[in-house]
Chains A and B, each alone.
Chain A
Amino acid sequence: AQTVTQSQPEMSVQEAETVTLSCTYDTSESDYYLFWYKQPPSRQMILVIRQEAYKQQNATENRFSVNFQKAAKSFSLKISDSQLGDAAMYFCAYRSPSGTASKLTFGTGTRLQVTL
């Protein structure tokens, strides 16, 4: 079974600064998907970014980018120019390729605080 580990329960960043959230995972599969989800106080899960394991290029979405190290099974999220609205819980998640095993495995989450 796959496992996802987020070793930082809480992180803090000043507005306009950059912060990196860590995530490692364990799998024996060679093809899979990795995700970062944001859960603000409203508790609505929001997809931040997605990475397909077969792609060597790191995914980017505006101020959000990942550092995907397949051999090391590491998938960190970098948030640049942090904004107050970035304050939330961030969950790293793993998913097997499409099909019957399309369920997500979540990490324990990192609570991000953004300070002025």
Chain B
Amino acid sequence: GAVVSQHPSWVICKSGTSVKIECRSLDFQATTMFWYRQFPKQSLMLMATSNEGSKATYEQGVEKDKFLINHASLTLSTLTVTSAHPEDSSFYICSAFSGRTHNEQFFGPGTRLTVL
């Protein structure tokens, strides 16, 4: 299968700072990338869908101004958690999709964010 990377794998930051998480499709071009949030022992909750070159579509209840998503190229999407607070601490997972080549989502390994 195709490979999706995330960076960093874990990050600890102080409350009030911003954190950027990168998601890259390494060996294919992703027309769509998805960002999920997963709390301990819970399922994946879709936060937003981003298509290359256009604005992200956020799920209901997800704050657009707090979770900024940029999908500048077919291989890179970024999630920036702005003015992070302890309640933003979570496991963030991205996935990449290319209907032309694979017709399935490939998941990154996730990023654990801890906000102190």
A interface, CB within 8 angstroms of B: 35, 42-47, 50, 91, 98-99, 102-109
Which residues of B lie under 8 Å from residue A43 when comparing CB positions? 38, 91, 93, 109-110
Q: Is the CB of B49 within 8 A of A44?
A: no
Q: Is the CB of A103 within 8 A of B46?
A: yes
Which residues of A lie under 8 Å from residue B1 when comparing CB positions? 47
Q: In the bound complex, what is the Cα–Cα distance between A105 and B16 (angstroms)? A: 32
Q: Any chain A CB within 8 A of the CB of B62?
A: no
Task: Using A99-B99, A102-B32 as known contacts, say yes or no to A45 and B43 having CB atoms under 8 A apart.
Answer: no
Q: How many residues of B contact A (CB 8 A)?
A: 20
Main secondary structure of the interface of A (DSSP, over half): loop
Q: In the bound complex, what is the Cα–Cα distance between A46 and B95 (angstroms)? A: 11
Q: Is the CB of B46 within 8 A of A104?
A: yes
Q: In the bound complex, what is the Cα–Cα distance between A103 and B49 (angstroms)? A: 8
The residue in A45, A106, A108 that gathers the most chain B C-beta atoms within 10 A of its C-beta is A45
Which residues of B lie under 8 Å from residue A91 when comparing CB positions? 43-44
Q: In the bound complex, what is the Cα–Cα distance between A42 and B91 (angstroms)? A: 12
How many A-B pairs have beta carbons closer than 8 Å: the answer is 43
Q: In the bound complex, what is the Cα–Cα distance between A43 and B93 (angstroms)? A: 9
Task: Using A43-B91, A102-B32 as known contacts, say yes or no to A109 and B43 having CB atoms under 8 A apart.
Answer: yes
A/B interface sample: 6 pairs, CB < 8 A:
A35-B104, A43-B91, A43-B110, A45-B44, A47-B1, A109-B43
B interface, CB within 8 angstroms of A: 1, 32, 34, 38, 42-44, 46, 49, 91, 93, 95, 97, 99, 103-105, 107, 109-110
Q: In the bound complex, what is the Cα–Cα distance between A91 and B38 (angstroms)? A: 13
Q: Is the CB of B43 within 8 A of A42?
A: no
The smallest C-beta distance from A57 to any residue of chain B, in angstroms, reads 18
Q: In the bound complex, what is the Cα–Cα distance between A62 and B76 (angstroms)? A: 34
From the candidates B34, B95, B99, B109, name the one contacting A42 in the complex (CB within 8 A).
B109
Q: In the bound complex, what is the Cα–Cα distance between A82 and B11 (angstroms)? A: 35
Q: In the bound complex, what is the Cα–Cα distance between A108 and B39 (angstroms)? A: 12
| In the complex, residue of chain B having the shortest beta-carbon distance to the beta carbon of A6 | B43
Q: Is the CB of B43 within 8 A of A98?
A: no
Which residues of B lie under 8 Å from residue A106 when comparing CB positions? 43-44
Q: Is the CB of B34 within 8 A of A103?
A: yes
